[in-house]
């Protein structure tokens, strides 16, 4: 077996008096596909910088094979000092690099290479940095949140590009689907130490939960043992017998271990402040259109959003997702068509750019609006420090200026602000940005429990699959199409993803015009697998329920049944009512599916 290309062994590092890494290990072999996971603030990015050779360590060792090449993608690439994007990419090639490959990657990513780095958006800077690290085809690629600021076409393109590389990969990402599709082994950084799983991210979460449960059992055993030893110390030692010093020192050692033992990191507690119940109809749009000069953003789009719907909005950057939401929520009028909001709609929103965060504002004032120490959640006043703890902020951070918070902390703060406002219509623009996987889990659970209506802009395919009941996709040229289900259902109905298919544009560029679609019409929406299965099985299920009800009705029609056995009569009546409710629900489901089947012509 070939020796590893890169080895970090027993790495320790202290920041500001806090031990961030305590004996962390990392080994990367040729062609390995490894994901590095852990909570925000656990030190993942720091460990990756150490692997890249950019940080000195307090203890442990780092070894890189002398002839191995390595490239590192930071979360915030620095393009300063370069006149053009191509000059920045070319500088990362190395002596044997191919400039034509750099050009090809830039073109694939929607850039020409002649752009001025000073004028790039966050997404464009990320694309340039990706081209820079991919072009040399190094032995090891270290990627820190490579999908940040990328739209779905670019993410799907990047997945395909990485799959075709021979480079070893070490990836940090909050995008579950991205990690599942690329990783073959997992390193979990938890409380300063690493644990390895020789399987990809798809198996990680079950393994992590099992590991934490076993740790909890061991912790409980230690607590019980300490109680037993203390009981012996107090009552088992008499004046006629010397103290068992070895046993006493063992007890003291366990006490020290218990004091030093760190529990698993706390969880965010997400609760949305819900407003009054809205009407059944929340938003109705009829043939709406919107243009900016020559650019058509929305063309003759119609939709009905009902109470309880979870609508995902997806498409390339610049396609007009935010504009569409502003029109649907009444913040911006359409050029033509009509938008009607339902009764009692109370809107709360989370903006993608975090633009409403003044960097000089204290965290506490950002949550309360200033001049108060309390926030109101579902009609109950709660002290701001307690609310901060729900989002993993310490009391000492109450007066911390927002500008000093990390990206993950700013993301949690924006969620805290949005969820504190009473609402029955929640608009979330890129809510998953900078959130760790555990916080994403809790956000999904909160949204599942939210009784209002959701409109979500997201490039996270797994998040859309877990949350959305329908998705609205930008097809290009101002054309928007709504598909039932989540992202995977959309792909199944459409026949290909947003970054594939015969008419796909380059990543990051909206399609210029709908003309090609006039030659080849878009595929009609189709029933999902679940819907087809339900249509096939519901008739048999309804027939079975009718038979069960018929048998029970014969018993209940017996006039002397109640007199003979009141208890059994009550049980039979309850069973009949249960079957009747199930039959009514099944008939309604079947009728809705039949209507949908006729609508899609399937």
**pLDDT by residue (tens digit) across 323-356?**
999 999 999 999 999 999 988 888 888 764 445 5
CA separation for the pair 88, 80 (Å, rounded) = 9
Could you give the 3-state DSSP secondary structure of residue 102?
helix
CA distance 131 to 89: 6
What is the pLDDT, as a whole number, of residue 337? 94
Give the phi and the psi of residue 319 in degrees, each rounded to 5. Answer: -75, -20
Tokens of 90: 């070319």
Q: Domain 6-69+138-205 is in which class? A: alpha beta
Annotated binding site for ATP: 38-45, 315-322
Segment holding 337, helix H or strand E: strand 336-341
Choose which CATH entry (3.90.1490.10, 3.30.390.30, 3.40.50.300, 3.40.50.800) describes domain 281-519: 3.40.50.300
What gap in Å lies between CA 116 and CA 109, rounded to an integer? 16
Please answer whether residues 282 and 345 qualify as being in contact, where contact means their C-beta atoms are separated by less than 8 angstroms: yes
Give me the torsion for CA of 389, 394, 396, 400, rounded to 10°: -90
CB count within 10 Å of CB 461 equals 26
Task: Characterize 287-320 residue by residue with b for buried, 16 or more Cβ atoms within 10 angstroms of its Cβ, and e for exposed.
Answer: ebbbeeeeebbbbebebebbbebbbbbbbbbbbb
pLDDT attached to residue 398: 86
List the one residue out of 574, 578, 571 whose CA is nearest residue 545.
Answer: 578
In this prediction, residue 8 carries a pLDDT of 96
Per-residue pLDDT at 245: 53
How far apart CA 503 and CA 523 sit, in angstroms, is: 12
204: exposed, middle or buried (Cβ count in 10 Å: 0-12, 13-18, 19+): buried
Task: Give the CA distances from residue 383 to residues 144, 209, 362, 369, in Å, rounded to whole numbers and listed in that order.
Answer: 36, 32, 16, 13
- For 354-386, the pLDDT digits (tens) are 455 678 888 888 888 777 888 877 667 888 888
Strand partners, 13: 21
Residue 54 DSSP SS3: coil
CA–CA gap between residue 490 and residue 544 (Å, rounded): 33
Residue 388 CA to residue 379 CA, distance in Å, equals 18
CATH 1.10.287.380-classified regions of the chain? 529-600
Task: For CATH 3.40.50.300, list the domain ranges present in the chain.
Answer: 6-69+138-205, 281-519
Query: What angle is formed at CA 320 by the lines to CA 120 and CA 157, rounded to 5 degrees?
Result: 60
C-alpha span between 36 and 73 (Å, rounded)? 14
Q: For position 525, what pLDDT does the model report?
A: 57
Residues of the chain with pLDDT under 50: 234-235, 237-243, 261-262, 352-354, 500-505, 510-524, 602
Class of domain 529-600: mainly alpha
Phi/psi of residue 540, nearest 5 degrees: -65, -40
Enumerate the known binding-site residues. 38-45, 315-322
First and final C-alpha spacing in the chain: 54
The secondary structure element, H or E, covering residue 441 is: helix 437-449
Per-position b or e across 334-361, b if 16+ CB within 10 A of its CB: beebebebbeebbbbbbbbebeebeeee
């Amino acid at each position: 077996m070939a020796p590893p290309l890169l080895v970090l062994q027993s790495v320790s590092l202290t920041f500001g008096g806090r031990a961030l890494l305590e004996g962390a290990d990392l080994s990367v072999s040729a062609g390995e596909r490894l994901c590095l996971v852990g909570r925000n603030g656990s030190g993942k990015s720091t460990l990756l910088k150490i692997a890249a050779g950019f940080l000195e360590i307090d203890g442990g060792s780092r070894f890189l094979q002398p002839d191995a090449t390595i490239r590192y993608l930071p979360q915030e690439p620095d393009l300063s000092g370069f006149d053009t994007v191509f000059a920045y990419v070319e500088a990362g090639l190395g002596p044997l690099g191919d400039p034509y490959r750099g050009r090809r990657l830039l073109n694939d990513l929607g850039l020409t290479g002649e752009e001025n780095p000073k004028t790039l958006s966050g997404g464009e800077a990320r694309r340039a940095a990706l081209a820079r690290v991919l072009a040399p085809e190094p032995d090891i690629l270290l990627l820190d949140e490579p999908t940040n600021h990328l739209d779905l076409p670019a993410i799907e393109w990047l997945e395909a590009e990485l799959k075709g590389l021979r480079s070893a990969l070490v990836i940090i990402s909050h995008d579950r689907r991205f990690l599942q599709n690329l990783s073959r082994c997992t390193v979990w950084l938890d409380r300063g130490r690493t644990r390895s799983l020789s399987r990809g991210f798809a198996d990680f979460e079950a393994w992590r939960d099992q590991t934490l449960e076993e740790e909890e059992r061991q912790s409980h055993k230690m607590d019980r043992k300490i109680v037993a030893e203390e009981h012996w110390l107090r009552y088992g030692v008499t004046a006629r017998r010397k103290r068992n010093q070895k046993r006493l020192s063992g007890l003291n050692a366990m006490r020290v271990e218990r004091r030093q033992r760190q529990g698993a990191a706390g969880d965010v507690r997400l609760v949305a402040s819900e407003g009054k119940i809205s009407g059944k109809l929340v938003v109705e749009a009829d043939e709406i259109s919107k243009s900016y000069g020559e650019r058509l953003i929305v063309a003759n789009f119609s939709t009905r959003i009902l109470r309880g719907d979870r609508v995902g909005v997806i498409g390339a950057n610049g396609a007009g997702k935010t504009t569409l939401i502003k029109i649907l929520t009444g913040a911006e009028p359409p050029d033509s068509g009509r938008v009607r909001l339902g009764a009692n709609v109370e809107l709360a929103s989370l903006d993608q750019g975090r633009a409403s965060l003044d960097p000089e504002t204290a965290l506490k004032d950002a949550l309360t609006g200033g001049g108060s120490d309390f926030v109101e959640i579902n009609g109950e006043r709660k002290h701001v420090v307690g609310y901060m703890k729900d989002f993993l902020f310490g009391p000492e951070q109450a007066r911390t200026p927002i500008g000093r918070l990390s990206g993950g902390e700013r993301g949690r703060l924006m969620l805290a602000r949005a969820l504190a406002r009473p609402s029955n219509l929640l608009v979330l623009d890129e809510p998953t940005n900078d959130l760790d996987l555990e916080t994403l889990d809790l956000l999904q659970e909160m949204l599942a429990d939210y009784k209002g209506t959701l409109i979500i802009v997201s490039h996270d395919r797994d998040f859309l699959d877990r949350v959305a009941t329908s998705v609205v996709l930008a097809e290009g040229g101002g054309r928007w199409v709504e598909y039932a289900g989540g992202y995977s259902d959309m792909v199944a109905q459409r026949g290909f993803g947003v970054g594939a298919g015969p008419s796909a544009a380059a990543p990051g560029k909206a399609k210029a015009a709908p003309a090609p679609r006039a030659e080849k019409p878009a595929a009609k929406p189709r029933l999902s697998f679940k819907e087809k299965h339900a249509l096939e099985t519901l008739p048999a299920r309804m027939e079975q329920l009718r038979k069960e009800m018929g048998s029970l009705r014969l018993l209940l029609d017996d006039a002397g049944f109640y007199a003979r056995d009141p208890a059994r009569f009550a049980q039979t009546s309850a069973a009949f009512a249960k079957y009747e409710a199930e039959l009514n629900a099944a008939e309604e489901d079947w009728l809705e599916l039949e209507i949908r089947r006729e609508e899609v012509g399937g």
